[in-house]
Structure 1
Amino acid sequence: MRWIFVCLTLCLFTPASFANEDANEPNVKKSKNDICHDKSSRSYKRTKNYTPYETIKECLASGGRLPKK
């Protein structure tokens, strides 16, 4: 019976925590190497030390550059 409670708790509360995590992430991250990563960038999730920006345009205007393809 206890494992049912655990399963229900995980199913009900885990997706909400992931949604909140994404909601707290900025639209654009400028890495310490001045590379601007938006959410479509392959390196966006891996970028941990960053300056947040609302748009790529703002990030580029601050001296950042787009990632190489």
Structure 2
Amino acid sequence: MQKTYGLPALLSLFVPGLGQLIKGQILKAFLIWAVGGVLSFFLAWTLVVPFVIWAWNVYDAYNDPA
């Protein structure tokens, strides 16, 4: 059975990458901030790309084992 993480997912709803950071995945949190921030900045007009990045971030914080 796969372990899930409710608190990291909840935190990632509000601050992308924070869930990964509190799980100890420092590199992944930094990449979410850097790559996700740059892509969202340049592709914000699409509204789809920032939403997909945000949704993947929450999903990853909930399902990915620490």
Q: TM-score, normalising length from structure 1? A: 0.27
Structure with bigger helix share is 2
More strand by share: 1
- RCO higher in structure (CA 8 A, sep ≥6): 2
